[in-house]
Amino acid sequence: MEMPAPSAAVLAKRDRIVERLRKLLPADAVIDDPAETRAYECDALTAYACSPLAVVLPSTTEEVSAILGLCHAEQVPVVPRGAGTSLAGGSLPTEDSVILGVARMTEVLETDYDNRFIRVQTGRTNLSVTGAVEEDGFFYAPDPSSQLACAIAGNIAMNSGGAHCLKYGVTTNNLLGVTLVQMDGTVLELGGAHLDPGGLDLLGVVCGSEGQLGVVTEATLRILPKPEGARPVLMGFFSNEIAGACVSDIIKAGVLPVAIEFMDRPCIRACEAFAKAGYPDVEALLIVEVEGSETEIEEQLGLILQIARRHEPEVLREAADADEAARIWLGRKSAFGAMGQINDYICLDGTIPVSKLPEVLRGIRELSRGYGLEVANVFHAGDGNMHPLILFNANEGELGKAEALGADILTLCVEVGGCLTGEHGVGIEKRDLMSVQYTPADLEAQMRVKDVFDPAWLLNPAKVFPLAASASRRIAAE
Amino acid sequence: MEMPAPSAAVLAKRDRIVERLRKLLPADAVIDDPAETRAYECDALTAYACSPLAVVLPSTTEEVSAILGLCHAEQVPVVPRGAGTSLAGGSLPTEDSVILGVARMTEVLETDYDNRFIRVQTGRTNLSVTGAVEEDGFFYAPDPSSQLACAIAGNIAMNSGGAHCLKYGVTTNNLLGVTLVQMDGTVLELGGAHLDPGGLDLLGVVCGSEGQLGVVTEATLRILPKPEGARPVLMGFFSNEIAGACVSDIIKAGVLPVAIEFMDRPCIRACEAFAKAGYPDVEALLIVEVEGSETEIEEQLGLILQIARRHEPEVLREAADADEAARIWLGRKSAFGAMGQINDYICLDGTIPVSKLPEVLRGIRELSRGYGLEVANVFHAGDGNMHPLILFNANEGELGKAEALGADILTLCVEVGGCLTGEHGVGIEKRDLMSVQYTPADLEAQMRVKDVFDPAWLLNPAKVFPLAASASRRIAAE
């Protein structure tokens, strides 16, 4: 997208701010050359882009505090950024904002196996948290598909999940404490390596707050001992409805797989073409994984296969060895990349009660026909977290139509008792749908909490809340 | 404790408020006869008592909203009350306050096995939530010792845990949504039967907020399929330190029992005398429980017993049948009652990193000698949630000394990286210790969130925050 040139006022302000920032930080930690700031114009929601005023890359909590203190004094908006993998535009800049990127903050600060936690700077990637402890037999459970790239900072901002969150919970269930720098530069320590302490649980509201309340610079994360083994099984069914019913039955039976993933035919074909995972060409595919000792695996799989057989599967295949297991997961985890090869797409994140799966899949098919756009489905079925991928052709100007279909699908999710977003966050993408999810009183209560932490509404502007509401809040504060 | 007679001004105000309350509620739902309000003078922290202005017992969210709206208009403080089992004085009235008791709000509003949740009014007791679903093979996991009596409202207020929370988490991990009535009478719906939705997670901060933010009238709770079976094993050790080391080793090994409970000799003897559970007379006792299918139980117990044997236990005894298992738990669950038979006691709730157990147990012993007061230890060792019982004689005026010892023990817990309270809440008991746990900036952030929900500081006054801080907040608001 071509950007208009910045105005003279913006340029003058930029020069002053950048000059002051350079006094706080090493020379290479302040970027204002437009050729370099271009890399920060957008995140993984690439349909939207905007050049920031400048980019800063601090290395410590103290530097973050100094940056925020300065921007607070100068009333400059700040957009916190992890690895820029947000699918919801969670780190999209505005032209008057400074991007505060935590990419250089990757240190492991403390590892404590006795008490099963690790403390890291939040620029560290999700996978490299596990990387720091896996030789000692531990792992960090939440596993977004982007885990190779995405930063813990963004995981906390979006309360990210992943395929294995059915058993282990999402980020909030694995986050013990954070260091939070408030917009005025003051530093709070929230939570710690113990049960929730007394007082108001600010950690709970910071997790998932999408950079609206402060910048999280350090995090204490729960680590778990690696299970002895794990085994996925592939199940192919004749229809989405049958696969959905099978998921419901597994959940009801009380057996707890670590993951139940669902893909429909358009998604299966794209993944197969891309990753050669050996997926069968069926209408609907489930990947169900169990873990534990060999005995536990056998016992759980026995029960799951028995349930699956009642739904007359076309295919039922246990991974024979570790290689095959890895290939099965590679296919699933590359689903978004695979779709991106052949189409423009919007990835939704609506979440529904598990029993509504067949109904919602039918509704999506009808809506998709009405708009004349294909929708591929791939999602964490076990906890009802859907990721419908709306396929469209940007060059033919279909983005608007795709967004309208997305809004209709998310509204359907809310109508059946679900919500707009399970793990990707609201960002800019869903801000104006928030009034579908929440009453004016609900939103007002949330915005009053935002007022507490960021009275001038400088942090990560124009996101999460309906644009009109956050704009009027910003103006009222000025 | 003898109370002074209320002043004429208080009596006049009471008459006016009571008259207005009677217009909102059925006649028997407003209590102002001092003979009857006496029953609401205190909760389970019986050392403190105060008569309220009046007591109201609404039956619906609408009635709660009307009551709060009225009290807000009249600037009358409101003390929400579940079943009054708080060990921290969480529902202690002030003389100018109205007690809002939810004891009549016990309905099951919805049961959904497909999506594994139940929605109840919050006056329902913890155990009767399980009671409503157990015939269908489900249960509600958090299990405070007081579960026969305590209400879900109080569980949410205190973010209550219980013996089995090692595996299933505390209330916040099992709470999907609430209906919250704010002090001005407006009603918010927070969360729901799905993953955390987008926007700020107000549910997270409401859970554990001790009635500071609003009155929770309805709750959506996760229910789980009952495991096939469970089996506790008793382990007796020669010292607290050895038992503590055994707990650490079990946790590190990655096996996840549903419960690891710890009792020391003074506690074991009291429980044995009271409940005849067949406990051995040893220095330190662990109850470790595992659950699942028979194969899973065998496998997990095998590993646990192997670890225990390395610590040369005096006693190692598996429950032979369901009766014996029940007796083992009856002993543990009656610990507080048993101690109450023979002593006055204060029950602490400090929580520490598991690896610090031996160090903290030694510290408690030294402090206890210094004060000349005995301390019996019984606690959820698996997650480091300690419940030291400080034994004293109220008739000999030892309460002050016991409280001072309690403060020293809790300070020790914070010093080793733990916190003041794991599941009982701060209440009035620990309000002035909050500055040991939190910096002034941390507390200020919490109090500003309280300001958002209750600007006049009318809800559950004089609790959670240091008394001086909340008093000045109250005055500033007037």
Mean pLDDT, all residues of chain B = 92
As to burial, measured by CB atoms within 10 angstroms (0-12 exposed, 13-18 middle, 19+ buried), residue B276 is exposed
Question: How far B195 CA sits from the closest chain A CA (Å)?
Answer: 6
* B417 and chain A in contact, CB less than 8 A: yes
Q: With an 8 Å Cβ cutoff, are A417 and B200 in contact?
A: no
Q: How far is CA B472 from CA B73, B428, B465, in A?
A: 21, 16, 11
Q: With an 8 Å Cβ cutoff, are A173 and B173 in contact?
A: yes
Q: Which residues of chain A have pLDDT under 50?
A: 1-2
| Chain A environment of B198 (Cβ under 8 Å) | 208, 210, 419-421, 425-426, 430, 434, 437, 464
State how far the Cα of A73 lies from the Cα of A67, in Å rounded to an integer: 10
The pLDDT of residue B343 is 83
pLDDT at residue B308 greater than cutoff 80: yes
- Average of per-residue pLDDT across B243-250: 90
Which residues does residue B235 pair with via DSSP β-bridges, in sequence order? B286, B316
| Chain B environment of A250 (Cβ under 8 Å) | none
pLDDT at residue B8 greater than cutoff 90: no
Question: Integer distance in angstroms from the first to the last C-alpha of chain A?
Answer: 31
Interface of A with B in 113-132 (CB under 8 A): 113-116
- Average of per-residue pLDDT across B380-394: 90
In chain B, the percentage of residues whose pLDDT exceeds 90 is 71
In this complex, the residue of B254, B295, B354 whose CB is nearest that of residue A115 is B354
CB-facing half-sphere around the CA of A142: CA atoms within 13 A: 24
- What element of type H or E holds A243? helix A240-253
In this complex, the residue of A198, A201, A203 whose CB is nearest that of residue B434 is A198
The pLDDT of residue A1 is 43
CB-facing half-sphere around the CA of B332: CA atoms within 13 A: 30
Which residues does residue A219 pair with via DSSP β-bridges, in sequence order? A120, A178
* B449 and chain A in contact, CB less than 8 A: yes
pLDDT at residue B339 greater than cutoff 90: no
The residue behind tokens 């729901």 is B192
CB-facing half-sphere around the CA of A404: CA atoms within 13 A: 10
Virtual torsion, Cα A465, A466, A468, A472, nearest 10 deg = -20
Number of helices and strands in chain A (H, E): 18, 18
Chain B residue nearest residue A184, CA to CA: B441
The pLDDT of residue B426 is 94
State how far the Cα of B226 lies from the Cα of B174, in Å rounded to an integer: 15
State how far the Cα of B108 lies from the Cα of B140, in Å rounded to an integer: 13
The pLDDT of residue A181 is 98
Q: With an 8 Å Cβ cutoff, are B446 and A208 in contact?
A: no
Give the 3-state secondary structure of residue A24: helix
State how far the Cα of B112 lies from the Cα of B115, in Å rounded to an integer: 6
In this complex, the residue of B207, B212, B417 whose CB is nearest that of residue A192 is B417
The residue behind tokens 């696969």 is A243
In chain B, the percentage of residues whose pLDDT exceeds 70 is 99
In this complex, the residue of B248, B296, B355 whose CB is nearest that of residue A296 is B296
State how far the Cα of B95 lies from the Cα of A409, in Å rounded to an integer: 53
The pLDDT of residue B1 is 43
pLDDT at residue B477 greater than cutoff 90: no
A366 CB neighbour count, 10 Å cutoff: 11
Quote the DSSP letter at residue A6: P
- Average of per-residue pLDDT across B404-417: 95
Q: With an 8 Å Cβ cutoff, are B170 and A204 in contact?
A: no
The pLDDT of residue A171 is 95
Query: By the 8 A CB rule, do A415 and B187 touch?
Result: no
State how far the Cα of B348 lies from the Cα of A376, in Å rounded to an integer: 55
Give the 3-state secondary structure of residue B50: coil
The dihedral region occupied by A280, where left means phi > 0, alpha psi between -120 and 50, and beta the remainder, is beta
Token pair, residue B284, equals 């330190």
Question: How far B101 CA sits from the closest chain A CA (Å)?
Answer: 22
The pLDDT of residue B402 is 95
Following DSSP, what letter does each residue of A85-135 receive, concatenated?
--SS-TT---TT-EEEE-TT---EEEEETTTTEEEEETTSBHHHHHHHHGG
Q: State the Rg of chain B over Cα.
A: 23
In this complex, the residue of B299, B353, B419 whose CB is nearest that of residue A115 is B353
Interface of B with A in 36-65 (CB under 8 A): none
What phi, psi does A54 have (nearest 5°)?
Answer: -165, 170
pLDDT one-digit tens code per residue, B438-464: 999 999 999 999 999 999 999 999 999
Q: Which domains does chain A have, with CATH numbers?
A: 8-101 (3.30.43.10), 108-225 (3.30.465.10), 229-336 (3.30.70.3450), 343-415 (3.30.70.2740), 438-477 (no CATH)
What phi, psi does A280 have (nearest 5°)?
Answer: -75, 155
* A166 and chain B in contact, CB less than 8 A: no
The residue behind tokens 């590190």 is B252
Q: How far is CA B291 from CA A139, B70, B174, B300, B383, in A?
A: 24, 50, 19, 9, 18
As to burial, measured by CB atoms within 10 angstroms (0-12 exposed, 13-18 middle, 19+ buried), residue A191 is buried
Crossing angle of the two packed helices A265-275 and A335-342, in degrees rounded to 10:
90
As to burial, measured by CB atoms within 10 angstroms (0-12 exposed, 13-18 middle, 19+ buried), residue B44 is buried
State how far the Cα of B375 lies from the Cα of B379, in Å rounded to an integer: 13
Query: By the 8 A CB rule, do A118 and A51 touch?
Result: no
